[in-house]
Amino acid sequence: MAAANGVAGAGLFSEEELREVSGVRWGEDFVEVTCGCTSHRYGDAVGRLRVCASGDLEINCECTSGCREDKLTPAAFEKHSGKETAGKWRNTVWVIVQGEKVPLSKTALLKYYYLAHKSGNGSHKGRNARPSHRDEFICCTRCGKERRFRLRSKEECRVYHDAVAKVNWTCADLTTDRVTCDDEEERASRKVLRGCSRAPSCTGCMKCVCFGCETCRFKDCDCQTCVDFYRNSKE
């Protein structure tokens, strides 16, 4: 692995810690590596693991050229891969070290994840200790198919917020993904995976359901929900 001098994310890990790890890429406050999970039935599902200084772990799946699953938790990625013994992602999700598959638990890549949990800032909170938001779905009024909205950033939350407010929302209004009414709807088995850090198939808990924060409420919106949120926050 080449030295990462001058790159902001290089301070997260030493060169020794990521020596011989495949696919290393340094970002502003994260490091990305090639990862995967093996199913006896489906084989290897490969992706890109992003390790953030906050302790957050996100995987963009690259199992097929048409796969649109991104920002998955390791547990959700494990389930998406079809792994038969889901629930042990620390040992089943692997990275490539010197050409061999090595479980995450045997690398230094989880040290910020463990630090976040030890300090009480669990993975249900993202950067700046903001609560996370699970994925939501809206039904197209034209084709009747439900489409997924990922709510990992303020921008994504705004897209969903405005879509909910639109009475006759259609697939053509979805600007964050190239989806048309002709595209297939997600399988029911995929819809249950909504990004909760506590459990991949969680139906809603305190870690993934937000009742209002500065990420999903907007000062420039005049809807009653946003108006009440900012009015109450001043009291």
Q: One digit per residue, pLDDT tens: the chain, 235 residues?
A: 433 433 444 567 888 888 889 999 988 778 999 999 998 888 999 999 999 877 788 999 998 888 888 888 888 898 888 887 767 889 999 999 999 999 999 999 988 887 766 544 333 444 444 457 889 999 999 999 999 998 988 889 999 999 999 999 999 998 777 889 999 999 988 888 888 877 778 877 767 777 788 889 999 999 988 888 877 765 4
Q: Are residues 99 and 156 in the same domain?
A: no
Task: Centre a 10 Å sphere on the Cβ of residue 124 and count the other Cβ atoms it contains.
Answer: 16
The per-residue pLDDT for 233 is: 63
CA distance 151 to 155: 8
Provide the domain count of the chain. Answer: 2
Please enumerate in sequence order all residues whose Cβ is within 8 A of that of 121, keeping only pairs 6 or more positions apart, or say none: 54, 55, 129
Residues sharing a CB contact under 8 Å with residue 184, sequence separation 6 or more, in sequence order: 145
* DSSP code for 99: T
Q: Domain range for residue 61?
A: 19-117
Whether residues 35 and 113 share a domain: the answer is: yes
User: Six-digit token pair at 98?
Assistant: 């010197």
Dihedral angle sign, alpha carbons of residues 84, 89, 90, 96: positive
User: Does residue 68 lie in a domain region?
Assistant: yes
- Looking at the domain assignment, is residue 51 inside a domain? yes
The model's pTM is 0.50
Residues 67 and 148 in one domain: no
